[in-house]
Structure 1
Amino acid sequence: MFSLCLILSAVCAIGTTIPVPDVYQYSLSVGSGSGIEFSTASEGRITAIRVWEYPGNYITGLQLRYESNWTAVFGSEYGNQQEMQLYDKEIIIQVSGKHSGYIYELMFVTTLGRSFKVGVSAGTSFNFFPTMKGSQLRFLSGRHDGWALASIGAHWALVAVK
């Protein structure tokens, strides 16, 4: 511990700046927790969201676009597909919805006050948001059974401006 303090003191004394790492937060997942694990993590900013819904029922699939690259579809592409594209500098600051065995509803809210809601209002409510001002959604994780989303959690980051 003493040597770490000594090194940090020396760096500060010579005026060298140390890059501040991104600060991450995790909103604990909700849902049944069974099935195949997934993570949408990728490089860049989230620029679009696609969600598939079994008509009048649960969420069957999810896909995010980072910059111009789409992730794989997690779950399935069965049912109605809905999509939201984000504007330049627009970021996701809240993810909420309903769950009961499967994820039945997802709603994404952005810094511009826009929202994107898919699914039906059935089950227990959840609401994910970052606890640090300026944080944004970086990726989603959870589980699916190949047919529908069984659980979901949100990962947030205070992204350092470079």
Structure 2
Amino acid sequence: MEGITLADRIQAVLDKESSRIVGRFMKDVDLFGGIKEVCKRFDLEAAQFQCIGSLSHATYVQLEKTSEGVLQYSKKIISDSPVELLSGTGFVGLGSDGELDVHFHGMFVDCHQQISGGHFLDGENPVAITIEFILFPLKDIELKRGNDLYSNLPVFQFSMKE
């Protein structure tokens, strides 16, 4: 396996008629890193995507309420076994730093037959066997992280490209 690059571990093809990109990530590709790599390959700054497959482990957070009733994210949760990603969906846009950023939520079942899910974290969800995906490019839309008016959390802001 020595000498194999990230690009070698990603299959991605463009269906010209629908402008959709489909493919898969192979073992050890990080889910977010793979999505970003495909977006770079096809010169995308905004897209919606869906995926299914398996992860060596899932790393995510979930919403919780503080004792004061304020919503916040939990501490990082890491599954203690490989998982089957039953449903995953997200958006790709630009972060406040101008780099590609992924917002992804998924539902999975672990090796204990427990179903869970949440807001997955960047760089911490490696593929176990395969992840199959479809990307829906958003050519005329700009997605850029900005603080939400109500929560003050950084969320994607949607606008038309100028």
Q: TM-score, normalised by structure 2?
A: 0.26
- Normalising by structure 1, we get a TM-score of 0.26
Looking at CA atoms only, which structure, 1 or 2, has the larger radius of gyration?
1
